[in-house]
Each structure stands twice: as structure tokens, then as C-alpha cells.
Amino acid sequence: MLNEMNTAQLRKFLDDHYDRYDQPAFIANDPINIPHRFTQRQDVEISGLFAALLAWGQRKTIISKCHELLRRMDDAPYQFIMQHSDDDLKGLLGFCHRTFCDTDLLYFVHWLRWFYQSHSTLEEAFLLGSTQRERLENFHNLFFSLPDAPQRTRKHVATPARGSACKRVNMYLRWMVRQDARGVDFGLWQRLPMADLICPCDVHVERVARRLGLLTRKLVDWQAAEELTAHLRTFDPNDPVKYDFALFGLGVEEKRQQSL
């Protein structure tokens, strides 16, 4: 049984599956392929933020909706954010993915324009605080600091202050911060330490992590995400979230086999 492996065996098992899944072939069927369309830093940051925060539901649908959103921005997100007119914003009306609709989208565009007017990179919005929990809480507060922030939009940017595991925000940070030579994650941001990242706890990761004894907390909340990441740090203290590839890949593979 997997949960009966000793620490050395478990580390090797996870390392083997990390090597298997952290490959360029991973990109095509994952929302991370959206920011991989771009080379300019700000385009990667903006398209990645939307792709990560819209990442719930089937991956095929997520990717399709992100492509639709970018088409509405003329496939030039940073230019659209900074140079759009009121008439351009009309092209965003009617966009909707699940409960994320044009009201939310218009505020995202407004906030991003406001932020980029005084900062060259979105990384600076995630640097406030000494712990990852503080950084995510402060990002949430900063994001909703503008006076016209809709109350309904708050549910689309998670915060540990509400007990959330912050799955999508943590996935976004993995994309932007992790550095390796494999070509999947971007490693654009170098002021946030990889060691501080928290593993995204989606349903696949949660299920496999429980089977492996890496997660025992019943609720999938911020404490659960910290518990899982603390276990992963025992295998690689400098890059614990690389094992997100192993846990997620194993979970997707298991689900696929069960459906056959």
C-alpha cells in the first residue's frame, strides 16, 4: 500500500512522478498553456492571473474560456489593460465563466490598470508580508482596496483570512515563482522564495495526498494546505511545491483509469 511506504520510499516515489509529469507535454492540456502563449512579462502575468483564477471546472472548458477572454482583449492583454477606451470595455460585456462574469472582469481590468500605472510587475503586489499567509492576505486587501470594488467579486480572489486553501492563487504563484529547466513553470519572479510557496490543494492533489499520509486534516482549508506543504518540505525544503506535479498527475491518471 502506498501509505505504508517509509520516508525514503515515498520521496523516491514522488520524485519519480515529478520527473514524469513536469515536462513540456504537461502544458498543452493545462491552463498554464494560456500564459505560455506570450513572451512579454506583463502579458504572462496578466494572462496567467486570469487562467489561474478561472481554473475551476473541466480543464478543456477553462482553456476555452480563457482563449475567449483573450480574444476579447485582442490577444494583447497588457496593451488592452493599459490603453483600453470605454468603447473597448464594451467588448468584455457578456463574458462569463461559471460565476465569474463581466462585473468581475471589469473590476479586474480596472485594478490591473491602476496597479501597472505605478508598478512594472505584478510580483510587487505579492511581496507585502514575511510569511506566505501574510502575503496572500495583503494581496487580497490590496486587490480590493479601490472604492468601486464589487462585493460579489471578493469570492473570486481567495484569502487565508477566510480560511481558504487559496488553491488557485497558490497555483498562480507556482507558475510565476518556480524556477527549473523543464519549461513548464515560468520562474519570472525572483523576490518570492520558492521555499515559501504553498502547494495548491485541488481535488486530485487532496485525494492522493491523503492516500500517501501527507494530509490528515479533514477540512481542505489553509491549515490543510500548510500541513501538506510542511510534509513536502521534508522531501525538498527549497522547492516543496514541485511535488504538485506528482500529486496532481497521479490523481488525474487514477481518475482516467477509473473512467475506462
- pLDDT digits (tens), the chain, 260 positions: 455 678 899 999 999 999 999 999 999 999 999 999 999 999 999 999 999 999 988 899 999 999 999 999 999 999 999 999 999 999 999 999 999 999 999 999 999 999 999 999 999 999 999 999 999 999 999 999 999 999 999 999 999 999 999 999 999 999 999 999 999 999 999 999 999 999 999 999 999 999 999 999 999 999 999 999 999 999 999 999 999 999 999 998 887 777 64
Q: What angle do CA 253, 179, 208 make, to 5 degrees?
A: 25
The cell numbers describing 29, all together, are: 492540456
| 230 C-beta neighbours (distance < 10 Å), count | 13
- How far is it between the farthest Cα atoms of the chain? 61
Q: Measured between alpha carbons, how far is 68 from 184 in angstroms, rounded to an integer? A: 22
- Alpha carbons 36 and 240: distance in angstroms, whole number: 23
User: Looking at the 3D structure of the chain, how many domains does it have?
Assistant: 1
Counting beta carbons within 10 angstroms of the beta carbon of residue 25, is it exposed (0 to 12), middle (13 to 18) or buried (19 or more)?
exposed
Q: At residue 100, what are phi and psi to the nearest 5 degrees?
A: -90, 115
Q: Please give the residue range of the domain that contains residue 249.
A: 2-259
Please give the full DSSP string across 25-60, using - where no structure is assigned: GGTTTSGGGTGGG--SHHHHHHHHHHHHHT--S-HH
Global confidence as pTM: 0.95
CA pair distance 98, 9, nearest whole angstrom: 41
